[in-house]
């Protein structure tokens, strides 16, 4: 029995397969959209990392001023405000994110 189904070109088939493996998409259009969106996410992640590093540096200045003036390194009431702000804006996962940021910004004891 002879098949009458059209034969896809091997190159196009390989390209579609590679796109599907890389992006999970099943069409070239979807793969291109995903690649573009991932590039945007990568750029945002770079900015977020930079902002976190900036936050860490500013927090270190605050902690140094607090300790130098005889205070404690950590201000728990301020941390609770931050936890609430993130929770209100992002829901329960926001609390975890805020805790991670606070841990990063506490520095070393």
- Tell me, letter by letter, the H, E, C secondary structure of the chain: CCCCCCCCCHHHHHHHHHHHHHHCCCCHHHHHHHHHHHHHHHHHHHHHHHHHHHHHHHHHHHHHHHHHCCCCCCCHHHHHHHHHHHHHHHCHHHHHHHHHHHHHHHCCC
Q: What pLDDT is stored for residue 35 in this prediction?
A: 93
> 5-47, pLDDT tens digit by residue?
555 556 556 666 666 678 888 898 999 999 999 999 999 999 9
For 57-104, the pLDDT digits (tens) are 999 999 999 999 999 989 999 999 999 999 999 999 999 999 999 999
């Amino acid at each position: 029995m002879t098949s009458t189904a059209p034969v896809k070109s091997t190159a196009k088939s390989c390209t579609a397969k590679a796109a599907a493996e890389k992006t999970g998409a099943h069409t070239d259009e979807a793969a291109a959209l995903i690649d573009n969106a991932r590039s945007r996410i990568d750029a945002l992640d770079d900015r977020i990392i930079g902002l976190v590093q900036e936050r860490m540096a500013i927090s270190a200045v605050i902690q140094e001023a607090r300790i130098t003036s005889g205070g404690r390194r950590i201000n728990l009431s301020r941390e609770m405000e931050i936890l609430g702000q993130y929770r209100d804006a992002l829901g329960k996962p926001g609390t975890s994110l805020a805790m991670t940021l606070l841990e990063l910004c506490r520095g070393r004891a």
